[in-house]
Amino acid sequence: MKYVDEFRDPALARKVLKKLHEVVADIPRAKERPLQIMEVCGGHTHSIFRYGLEGLLPKGIEMVHGPGCPVCVLPMGRVDDCITIAEQPDVIFTTFGDAMRVPGSKKSLQQASAEGCDVRMVYSPMDALAIARENPHKRVVFFGLGFETTMPSTALTVMQAKREGLNNFYLFCNHITIIPTMKAILDEPGMSIDGFLGPGHVSMVIGKQPYNFIASHYNRPLVVAGFEPLDILQSLLMVVEQLRDGRAEVENQYARIVPEQGNLHAMAAVNEVFEVREHFEWRGLGSIAESGVKIRQGFEQFDAERAFSVATLQVEDPKSCQCGEVLKGALKPWDCTAFGEDCTPETPVGALMVSTEGACSAYYSYGKIDVHQAG
C-alpha cells in the first residue's frame, strides 16, 4: 500500500472483519466472556471511534482503553507545579496545546494565562528554545511531557541549548516511560486483559523488543499496531489468531514505520540527557517505580525543578472524576458519573476529556455514531 485511502478500503475491511469473526468463533473462551484487548495508545482509541470500528467487531471482543495518553496520566500536583512556575514574573512558560486545559487543583494553564501569566503554546521544544533566544532577559520554561515518542526531541533541544550556552532556557521534565506502566497494569489484582495492541509511535523509538516480557512472563500476545482502520483490524486479527493458537508473541504489524530495534540515534540522545527516576506519580495509577525520567548531571543547569521551588504535592482528583479507573481499563468512560454532564470538552473535570488522545474525549466526540447508518 502507498496511499492513505488504501488503508481505509471498505472492501478490504470487510474481508478482514469476516476473518476476525471466524477466528473469534473458534475460541471457546470467547463464548464465556468477551476477549479483552487493550489498545494502549490513545491514538488507537480515537481511530477506533472515529471510524466506527468497535461497533463492527465480533461480540466476543471487548476493547479496553489503556493509559497511553501522556496528558491524561499527568497528576494534578504536577499541573499545580506548572502554574507555580508560570506565575513567576520573569517567566515565559511554554507547553503543547493539549496541556493548556488540563485542570490543576485550582486552575489550568489556560486560566493562568487569562489571569496574566505569560503562557505560550508551542509545537516543539525547539520553538521554546527560539523564544529563549529572542527573550534573553526572561526565563523560558518548556513543559516536557510525553512517552518515548517525544523524549528524543526534548533531549536534542537540551543538547542544543548547551551547545549555544543559553542560560535562560529550562525544562520542566515530566516525560514518562511505557514499559513500567504496562507492567503496573498487568500486576493489577483481578487483571483480565487477554492481549494488547501495542503503541505505534512509542515503538517507532524503542522498537518491539522491550515488550517481550509481556509474552514471556505474562503469557499475553501483543501486536504493535498502526493507526489506520485496516491497521487496527489486521492487528486485532493477529492478536486473536495468537489466542486461538495458544501462542503469546510480540508481533509488529506497523513494520512500515516501526523498525525492529527502534531508533538507535533517538535513544542515544535520550540516554545522554535523561536518567530514570526512582518513582513517578501517575494520575489514577499512583506511584510507579522507574516510570519517569529526569535530567542527568551535566545538563542540570537546564532543570526547572532545580531552578524553581516546586512543591510536587500529591493532589487527589475530584471525587466525581473517575479518570483513574478508566485509565486502568476498569471502567468505560460512560460509567463515570461526571461523563457528558459535569465533564465535557468545554468544561473538563478530568484530563481524559481534555486531550485529543483521551478515551473520554473519543467517546464524547464519536461514541454516539451509529456505525451501520454511517456506512
CA distance 351 to 294: 23
Q: Which of these CATH numbers, 3.30.365.10, 3.40.50.11740, 3.40.50.720, 3.30.950.10, describes 68-315?
A: 3.40.50.11740
Q: For residue 198, give the 3-state DSSP assignment.
A: strand
Q: Which long-range contacts (CB under 8 A, 24 or more apart) does 335-344 make?
A: 336/360, 339/363, 339/364, 340/364
**Exposed / middle / buried, residue 183 (Cβ in 10 Å: 0-12, 13-18, 19+):** middle
Q: Which sequence spans correspond to the domains of the chain?
A: 68-315
pTM for this predicted structure? 0.86
Computed on alpha carbons and rounded to an integer, the radius of gyration of the chain in Å comes to: 21
Ordered per-residue pLDDT tens for the chain, 375 residues: 666 778 889 999 999 999 999 999 999 999 999 999 999 988 898 899 889 898 899 999 999 988 777 777 788 888 999 999 999 999 999 999 888 988 888 899 999 999 999 999 999 999 999 999 999 999 999 999 999 999 999 999 999 999 999 999 999 999 999 999 899 889 988 889 999 999 999 999 999 999 999 999 999 999 999 999 999 999 999 999 999 999 999 999 999 999 999 999 999 999 999 999 998 888 767 788 989 999 999 999 999 999 997 776 555 666 666 776 776 667 777 788 778 777 787 777 766 776 666 677 777 777 654 433 333
